[in-house]
Each structure stands twice: as C-alpha cells, then as structure tokens.
C-alpha cells in the first residue's frame, strides 16, 4: 500500500463514496474544487496496485488544523488503513509545524472513535444535536508537537 497526495484521477472515487462529507450529495465540480483547488486543504489517498482504498483530508488554520474527512472502502476496513492514513496526515502536519489537530465525530460512530482514541485524540467538547438525525458530535483534539509516536 502507498499513501500519496490526491490527484485529479481520484475525484471520481471520492465523489461516488456514499454518505460522505464530499460524497454524491455534492456536484462533481464542488468535490473537484475542494480537493484540487482549496489551497488551505490537503488530501492524501491510500492505494494498492492503483486501486483506491481510502482517503483523509485536513484543513489548515494557521498553526492548527482540522481533519475534515476520513474514509476507507467498506471491504477494506479493520486492516489498519484508516490508522495509516491518519499517521501519514500527522507526519505532513508536523512538517508544517501544526500544533493542534481537531476533528468532529458522531458519538454513534464507534469505529471512528476507536481509531481516533487509539491515535491520541481526546474529547474536549460536545456539540449537541449536531447532525441531521439529532445525534451529538464530539469535538476531539490531539496535541501534535508533544506527540512522540512513530509518525
């Protein structure tokens, strides 16, 4: 598996993934504008033998950053790909001297929460009824420069 910066050929994969921040509810042009042209955003893709496996995206806000999306193909989950994408993101963000990394996750998303806690994120706030279905979100934070993991 390799993890590399997103390229134009990845837009189709991202646009067709269901239920995602950048999924089919957005126009293809909107997805393209975000992943290829937003200078404050960076996206990394995991692939194996040219097969798209998943991606992670983050936005940069001065010395902080926010994970805005993380996705692994359903049939490839629980094989360490999500964690590898997050670690690749940490590596990029440390190079940019980013201090703090945040993200929002549904309190119902046990898979993502397990991954984020394992990567050192802590819950710092609850956003009540954040999602359309009325569920809450947790705001999670990780201090990057204190992080002495392999990433």
Selection from 108, 144, 105, 111 nearest residue 125 by Cα: 105
Q: Which is nearer to ligand COA, 19 or 39 (CB)?
A: 19
Least distance in angstroms from the C-beta of 80 to ligand COA: 4
- State the residue number with the nearest CB to ligand COA: 82
Q: Are strands 64-72 and 100-106 parallel, antiparallel or unpaired?
A: parallel
Give the separation between CA 142 and CA 130, rounded to whole angstroms: 21
Minimum CB distance to ligand COA, residue 14 (Å): 12
Q: List residues binding ligand COA (CB under 6 A).
A: 70-72, 77-83, 105, 109-112, 114-115, 118
User: CB of residue 25 vs ligand COA: minimum separation in angstroms?
Assistant: 15
Q: Cα–Cα distances in Å, from 18 out to 15, 78, 145?
A: 8, 19, 34
Compare residues 18 and 39 and give the one whose CB is closer to ligand COA: 18
């Amino acid at each position: 598996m390799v993890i590399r910066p997103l390229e134009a050929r990845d837009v189709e994969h991202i646009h067709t993934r269901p239920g995602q921040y950048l999924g089919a509810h957005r126009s293809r042009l909107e997805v393209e504008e975000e992943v290829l042209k937003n200078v404050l955003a960076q996206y990394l893709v995991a692939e194996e033998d040219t097969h798209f496996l998943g991606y992670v995206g983050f936005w940069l806000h001065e010395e902080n950053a926010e994970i805005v999306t993380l996705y692994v193909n359903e049939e490839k989950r629980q094989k360490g790909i999500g964690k590898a994408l997050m670690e690749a993101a940490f590596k990029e963000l440390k190079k940019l001297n980013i201090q703090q990394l945040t993200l929002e996750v549904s309190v119902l998303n046990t898979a993502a929460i397990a991954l984020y806690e394992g990567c050192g994120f802590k819950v710092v706030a609850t956003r009540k009824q954040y999602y359309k279905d009325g569920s809450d979100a947790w705001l999670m934070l990780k201090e990057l420069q204190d992080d002495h993991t392999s990433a």
